[in-house]
Structure 1
Amino acid sequence: MPRSALPLAIFVLCAVTAPAGAQFGDEPFARAESKLPKEFAKRADVTVQVVPAKVKWGETVAVKVTVSPKSHAWTYPAFPTDPKQLARNTLELSSPGELIFIGGVADPPVKWKQKPRPDSLAMDEYTDQPITWEFKAVVSPKAKPGAKSVVLDGLDLQVCDDKNCIPADGKKLPPAEFRVEEGASDHVNPQDLASALLKIQSPTDVIRVGAGAILVAGLDTATARSTAPGAEAAKKSNRKAAKPVAAYTEEMNGYAGNIERTGDTSGGSDGGQSQGLWAFVLTAAAWGLISLVTPCVFPMIPITVSIFLKQAHGSFRERLKLAGVYCLTIISVLGVSAFALLKFMAWLSTQPVTNVLLALLFLVLALSLFGMYEISLPNVLQKRLQAKQSKGGVIGTIFGALAFTVISFTCVAPFLGGFAGISAGNDTGGSLIAVPTVKEIAGGLAFATAFAAPFFVLALVPGLMKALPKSGGWLDSVKVVMGFLELAAALKFLRTAELGVLPTPQYFTYDVVLGGWIAISVACGLYLLNVYRLPHDEENPNIGVPRLIFALLFLGLALYLLPATFKGQDGKPQRPAGTVYAWVESFLLPETSKDEGWSTDLKETIDTARKSGRPIFLDFTGETCTNCKYNEHSVFPQPAVREEMQNFEKVQLYTDWLPAASYTSDPGLAARKAEARVNRDFQTEVFKDIKLPLYAVLVPQADGKLKLIGTYEEGKINDPAQFAAFLKDSLEKAKK
């Protein structure tokens, strides 16, 4: 661009940008007094330098932040090699102001030292030598001449010694000081200025203001995005810049309206959905049957059936009527409860507060099952229900069923809540207002029907009661085992809650929760072997064969999972082979780890697909989705599937919240959840379904539209070979 055009172009920029903030006049700037905490200053010096210190509008500067640890002190990287390293500095680019920061954020190429991490065998990276982080910025066209002082509020540093670690946020660090001089510059970098424009204005605004804004960069908006400093590095790392919610919503709505469907977009097993429904119903029924073998339910079975026999006075017809009324009442009450949990748990399971409350509930119930205290309904309520029951007949039977359901709910609730929580993490994106599905209704009825069925069967065939095992000490053992399982569930809920609050879990990490499960398995196995007893246990030095087998199963599980807590030579956790670990891993929600080639930006993926000619593999997923984690860690890496997926441009759209690692700089949990809501609305609009995971294949068309050529029917991939065949078939369709 001719130099003579620069003054006019910069004038146009000044006219269309927002008014400048507080100014410092024309006086020379003086170094600001240090606001560093005294304890921080004792351990390190911090300097901030702007190079060059005298600049003009549109010029590029380097902001250098140097931390110089003093004797016996050190500091940490911002992006350690091990993502689980908790000790680190935070480097985020400040919002556009008189300096518009551009490019990526990275640690300088220094040789980091290593020291053992206190809580594990892993190593933390650190340095006790001076280290300088450098950030690129462009002087804003709205900055008026004079001395400037910019607070680097995106930084959060820490230095440590043998006694303590002291933090200092950006507001306490020395500001970036420089002087803006009048006049046009001969040293404007077009690409840097293009990147700055994209920071302060949307592409639509840049185009609207006319040729002046574009001429400054000498590039159109699309070219500016692709050539901006750091764009290539961000592309390679699959990271992106956060987009305003309104702009992102408009973008996704535009794609939703441009999707065309072919005649047949189904893929995978034709019976995938029906198989999934029947598997879900059978699982719900199994949980209902397991709920019967609890201390507050099992002893009531023969007692209740005896009441039917007594009231019927030998009449089979009367016995059938009373048993039917009793069971239908239980199915109605428990079925509605089960349906409500299944309906709303998908939404509740993504809320951190709900997960914490569930964890506390399971912890309270576990301690009760261990014998620390008893949980029961208020006596007033129990007496009223029992008084109604004593009247007999149909009314008395209904109130008897209500009394039994309410009293037994303390034992049934953990199983019902646990099943609802697991199913929520498998299939849905968490829509609160979605229409009830057949799956949810059938699951609730299956749970309640399985729970009530034994009462009906035993009332019709009383002789079967002789085959029931007698109540005794074995029920106390069942209580304790259930208590251990509830402790394990509590750890899982706490992990889910922390995933929804912190970008990187620090307390209930995958390793911590897995270690907790191993310890629980060992404790449960030793208990079943009578190595120790709890307060409510009867003295019983001998154990039966079933109890021995269960003890060995728990101890075997602990030994099987133990290698996963250690890392291999490549620094990655060891992964025990087999389906059992695959399920445990996915249920505990391992940290998100993607291979190269996965994007989280649909627009970027479509642009790439138009250039490469490849179809797009679209994956709707979630950070709290168990089936998603199972597929990503156990199916996608398989050779046949991996080979086929290399022929696609791959994009993942999260529907609960996006991982912080998806961005060049974490925009915060609220922004990551807002983008996920847009993704969920896009999924609902296009596919009329909110299940997770959902896989589809799109092909960009010459007219700008997108053709939907295939969707995979199953959520959890049960047959990897069949999934690979779906990918291959979709690729063939895309070539036609």
Structure 2
Amino acid sequence: MVRSALPLAAFVLFVLSAPAGAQPDIGAKGNLPKEFAARASVSVEVVPAKAKRGETVLVKLTVAPRPEAHAWTYPAFPKDGEEQLSRNTLAFPPPGDLIFIGKLADPAVAWKEKPRDTGVGLDQYTESPVTWELKAVVSPKAAVGPKAVLLEGIRLQVCDARKCIPTDGRKLPPAEFTVEEGESTTINAADYAEATKAPLPAPKPPPSGADGTKPTTTAAHDKVAVRKNAKPTDAYAAEMKAFETTVVGAEPPPPPTLWAFVATAALWGLISLVTPCVFPMIPITVSIFLKQAHGSLGERLKLASVYCLTIITVLGLSAFTLLKFMAWLSTHPVTNVLLGALFFVLALSLFGMYDIGLPNALQKRLQAKQSKGGVIGTIFGALAFTVISFTCVAPFLGGFAGIAGSDSSFTVKEIAGGLAFATAFAAPFFVLALVPGLLKALPRSGGWLDSVKVVMGFLELAAALKFLRTAELRLLPSTEYFTFDLVLGGWVAISFACGLYLLNAYRLPHDEEQPNISVPRLIFALLFLGLSAYLAPALLKFDGKPQRPSGAVYAWVEAFLLPEDKPAEAGAEEAWGTDLQEALDASKKSGQPVFVDFTGKTCSNCRLNEQNVFPQAAVRDEFRKFEKVKLFTDEVPEPFYAADPGGRARTAEGRANGDFQLAVFKTNQLPLYAVLAPQQDGKVKVFGVYDEGKINDAGKFAAFLKESREKAKR
């Protein structure tokens, strides 16, 4: 029997600690990571170091790999273009004291070549110092005095035989120069004219050293991702706040039926009972009631009521807390790291590696209180049981809260759902205390519960990988450790190992000898082995493209594990922006309404719709008749920017989008789809809000797009 107070303590810990998860200040000047500095030196020089307003200067960025570290770095525009994944990224910072102009290119150095990791093609690199030159004009509005310009938009990496270390422009030494007083006689007229155009978009790194760039996408359906210049955080938030008063006609999608939600909560509570931490305790606990009641029905009723109400209070509060804050908790990186670690610890416990128990002092105190009997003893017994059972109950409670967290929510629903989950969980104790004869009908615990325990361990291990991947997606611009391929490979291995376990191919420490297996056990073993074989082809790549299994099961798995950002396809024609103002401006010119996709970087249902519904012909045809904009409510992905403004700015923009959604549509449901169009009076009118998060009928969604578009045209 696995006994656990630590899981509950860890759960409380992550709930309390998540809001305090402040990110470190990454804007410090020249704050190179130690591992990067050990492999290469970086210098930034402005030539000339003193210039007057309107003069042209060169910002020279030099990266010198250290010979003693046997390190190297890469070009920004390799000759193989998109085929070479290992590269540096150069993009001009936004206009400020310096206005960057011209074209970005690699210097003419002797780039070496080595075989690509994939075995197809060669990657360029250099072990010698390399200097990139960025041309800029001192802004006519720059104030006189010393200046320090951060090279935002630049991302470098340096490697050695062990690993590669990245860094971004905000950690590089700044471009320092001095603006002098007076008029200059050396102003380049062509440079000045280019710099003073209102405001130029930041150049994008070309794929092979030529002008221009291939568009970048963030999901399989995003044919073209429109890159944008980041606006100041305060300005963007104020812009979205102003939209709240101009948007009219918005109505939130109807919430799910309260009774259906309550029924779902109760079902999850009942499922939690058939777990190895809970099921064996049912007859033991009821027997204690019967013994203490001494045959009195009234006493049994009183003790059972106290016991069940204690469980309902503890579990109900836990469920309510998760339901209330799940939308925020599910995307917070600290929460996901702690959940990943917690589920990993629980999985090893369920495998029988160790037992997680209450501290001895607390265990003795609870036993002493419980042994006194009566109401007080019953309350402490219920508390002890709730803590002990949390190892198995937590995944079901979290799974239920995760489903609810994707829908719009209101306090009545949250309270009702939490109480329904806890009441269903506690109900059997009350019923069996009143009708003890039903105990004989319960199946005996034994080896089958050990098997359930191990299968749950495999499932919790799979969940741990998912949580850690979600955390890395929020912490890094792109995953480097818990990649989609790694987590999918983990799921394939876990499913295969679970199938072998159910076939008795190996045993774990707490298992009883079972020479034969039952038919249900065989069926479950085949299901897990079949799932492993079904998912495995997705790990294989031909010509750089994964072999995507067909069917709804893989579509669900792929969306749940949040696929990696993908490069644009040749001939792409559908453009998705991430700026509502730009979409509205485009709508005024084209006359097409705006389709708004409220989405999230870590939203599984969003990816599921994008994989299964958006590519369908009827939907794709309708999309061509809209200006399309994605409003990420957690964090705008880096590829949507010409120059990465940093994690804080991208998260702040997502927060502003989320506040706008909640203020206008009165819901934080993800995904949420709306159609709107600018009006002649300056207002923005909403012509339709889709009533589902996960799209279950592509035809219905296409009809919604057509109907909303026709309304906007009238």
Q: Report the TM range for the smaller structure's normalisation.
A: 0.7 to 0.9
Q: Tell me, yes or no, if structure 1 residue 239 matches structure 2 residue 227.
A: yes
| Amino acid aligned to 2:479 | P
Q: Tell me, yes or no, if structure 1 residue 58 matches structure 2 residue 54.
A: yes
Larger Rg: 1
Counterpart contact for 2:56–2:187, Cα < 8 Å: no
Query: In the alignment, which of 393, 410, 413 is matched to residue 439 of structure 1?
Result: 413
- The 5 Å alignment of 1:607-618 reads 607-618=585-596
Q: Tell me, yes or no, if structure 1 residue 564 matches structure 2 residue 564.
A: no
- Residue in 2 that maps onto 1:667: 645
- Residue in 2 that maps onto 1:297: 278
Counterpart contact for 1:147–1:177, Cα < 8 Å: yes
Counterpart contact for 1:389–1:396, Cα < 8 Å: yes
- Residue in 1 that maps onto 2:124: 126
| Shift in CA distance, 134/469, structure 1 to aligned 2, threshold 3 Å | same
- Residue in 2 that maps onto 1:76: 74
Counterpart contact for 2:39–2:159, Cα < 8 Å: no
Counterpart contact for 2:496–2:532, Cα < 8 Å: yes
| Amino acid aligned to 1:611 | K
- Residue in 2 that maps onto 1:192: 194
- Residue in 2 that maps onto 1:248: 236
**SS of alignment partner, residue 546 of structure 2:** coil
Alpha-carbon displacement from aligned partner over 1:228-286 (angstroms, at most 9, x marks no partner): 87799799750111111221122112221111217xx577xxxx6335x5564444333
> C-alpha separation between the residues in 2 aligned to 1:153 and 1:654?
22
Q: Tell me, yes or no, if structure 1 residue 141 matches structure 2 residue 140.
A: yes
- Residue in 1 that maps onto 2:359: 378
| Shift in CA distance, 413/175, structure 1 to aligned 2, threshold 3 Å | closer
Listed as ranges, the gaps of 5+ residues in structure 1 are: 1-35, 196-223, 429-434
Counterpart contact for 2:146–2:176, Cα < 8 Å: no
Counterpart contact for 1:266–1:710, Cα < 8 Å: no
1:494 deviation in Å?
Answer: 0.9
| Amino acid aligned to 1:533 | R
Number of residue pairs aligned between Structure 1 and Structure 2: 652
> C-alpha separation between the residues in 1 aligned to 2:191 and 2:523?
73
Counterpart contact for 1:370–1:483, Cα < 8 Å: yes
1:152 deviation in Å?
Answer: 6.1
Query: In the alignment, which of 480, 496, 500 is matched to residue 470 of structure 2?
Result: 496
**SS of alignment partner, residue 560 of structure 1:** helix
| Shift in CA distance, 379/518, structure 1 to aligned 2, threshold 3 Å | same
**SS of alignment partner, residue 630 of structure 2:** strand
- The 5 Å alignment of 1:28-107 reads 57-58=53-54, 75-78=73-76, 87-94=86-93, 99-102=98-101
| Amino acid aligned to 2:535 | L
| Shift in CA distance, 241/579, structure 1 to aligned 2, threshold 3 Å | same
> C-alpha separation between the residues in 1 aligned to 2:431 and 2:144?
89
**SS of alignment partner, residue 535 of structure 2:** helix
Q: Tell me, yes or no, if structure 1 residue 735 matches structure 2 residue 708.
A: no
- Residue in 2 that maps onto 1:578: 551
Identity among equivalent positions (%) equals 66
| Shift in CA distance, 227/366, structure 1 to aligned 2, threshold 3 Å | closer
> C-alpha separation between the residues in 1 aligned to 2:290 and 2:497?
43
> C-alpha separation between the residues in 2 aligned to 1:47 and 1:583?
48
> C-alpha separation between the residues in 2 aligned to 1:332 and 1:38?
55
| Shift in CA distance, 337/49, structure 1 to aligned 2, threshold 3 Å | closer
**SS of alignment partner, residue 673 of structure 2:** strand
**SS of alignment partner, residue 545 of structure 2:** coil
- Name which of structure 1's ranges 63-72 and 76-85 shifts more when overlaid on structure 2: 63-72
Alpha-carbon displacement from aligned partner over 1:562-586 (angstroms, at most 9, x marks no partner): 12212344x3323222222222122
1:343 deviation in Å?
Answer: 1.7
> C-alpha separation between the residues in 2 aligned to 1:702 and 1:163?
61
- Residue in 2 that maps onto 1:694: 672
Listed as ranges, the gaps of 5+ residues in structure 2 are: 1-35, 206-211, 216-223
- The 5 Å alignment of 1:475-494 reads 475-494=449-468
Q: Tell me, yes or no, if structure 1 residue 472 matches structure 2 residue 446.
A: yes
> C-alpha separation between the residues in 2 aligned to 1:367 and 1:227?
52
1:658 deviation in Å?
Answer: 1.0
> C-alpha separation between the residues in 2 aligned to 1:649 and 1:163?
46
**SS of alignment partner, residue 423 of structure 2:** helix
Counterpart contact for 2:227–2:639, Cα < 8 Å: yes
**SS of alignment partner, residue 274 of structure 1:** coil
Q: TM-score, normalised by structure 1?
A: 0.77
- Residue in 1 that maps onto 2:265: 284
- The 5 Å alignment of 1:107-118 reads 115-117=115-117
1:715 deviation in Å?
Answer: 1.4
- Residue in 1 that maps onto 2:319: 338
1:64 deviation in Å?
Answer: 7.4
**SS of alignment partner, residue 595 of structure 2:** strand
Counterpart contact for 1:342–1:423, Cα < 8 Å: yes
Counterpart contact for 2:148–2:174, Cα < 8 Å: no
Counterpart contact for 1:319–1:460, Cα < 8 Å: yes
- Residue in 1 that maps onto 2:9: none
| Shift in CA distance, 234/618, structure 1 to aligned 2, threshold 3 Å | farther
- Residue in 1 that maps onto 2:562: 589
- The 5 Å alignment of 1:634-649 reads 634-649=612-627
- Name which of structure 1's ranges 161-170 and 502-511 shifts more when overlaid on structure 2: 161-170
**SS of alignment partner, residue 725 of structure 1:** helix
Q: Report 1 or 2 for greater relative contact order, CA contacts < 8 Å, sequence distance ≥ 6.
A: 2
Aligned Cα root-mean-square deviation (Å): 4.3
Q: Tell me, yes or no, if structure 1 residue 183 matches structure 2 residue 185.
A: yes
- Residue in 2 that maps onto 1:260: 248
| Shift in CA distance, 160/251, structure 1 to aligned 2, threshold 3 Å | closer
- Residue in 1 that maps onto 2:7: none
- Residue in 1 that maps onto 2:255: 273
- Residue in 2 that maps onto 1:533: 507
Counterpart contact for 1:93–1:101, Cα < 8 Å: yes
